[in-house]
């Protein structure tokens, strides 16, 4: 019988203590001269990518290309985390 409690995202075990590889912006956009709307920090490796509202969606692309599903907002004053695989806040 279910207790009604949500099952935690199984991908949280992939969260590491990371340092942003490119704290000045999206790693790929900086290389190509593209722009971004908001930034996301990969909590597995420190990749900084642009959000889904940005033209290139590099954070999502990185998450699926290298199987690093959890990001944290890299915007000042925001502290939420998101799992791209399960599409849930963690």
pLDDT tens profile 25-74? 999 999 999 999 999 999 999 999 999 999 999 999 999 999 999 999 99
Domain that holds residue 34: 20-89
Closest CA to 11 of 80, 79, 71, 56: 71
Beta-bridge partners for 50: 39
Q: Are 90 and 70 in contact (CB under 8 A)?
A: yes
| Residue 1 or 29, more confident | 29
Inside any domain, residue 39 = yes
Inside any domain, residue 45 = yes
> In whole angstroms, how far apart are CA 80 and each of 30, 44, 73, 74, 77?
24, 15, 6, 9, 10
Q: Can you give the pTM of this predicted structure?
A: 0.91
> Which CATH number do you get for residue 66?
3.30.40.10
> 55's torsion region: left (phi>0), alpha (psi -120 to 50) or beta?
alpha
Inside any domain, residue 59 = yes
Query: Which phi and psi (to 5°) does residue 67 adopt?
Result: 60, 50
- How many structural domains does the chain have? 1
- Looking at residue 1, its pLDDT comes to 40
Inside any domain, residue 28 = yes
């Amino acid at each position: 019988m279910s207790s009604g409690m949500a099952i935690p995202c199984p991908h949280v075990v992939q969260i590491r203590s990371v340092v942003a590889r490119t704290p000045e912006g999206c790693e790929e956009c900086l290389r190509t001269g593209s722009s971004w709307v908001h930034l996301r920090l990969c909590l597995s490796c420190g990749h900084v990518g642009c959000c889904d509202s940005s033209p290139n969606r590099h954070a999502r692309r990185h998450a699926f290309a290298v199987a690093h599903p959890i990001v944290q907002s890299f915007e000042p004053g925001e502290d939420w985390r998101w799992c791209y695989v399960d599409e849930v806040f963690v």
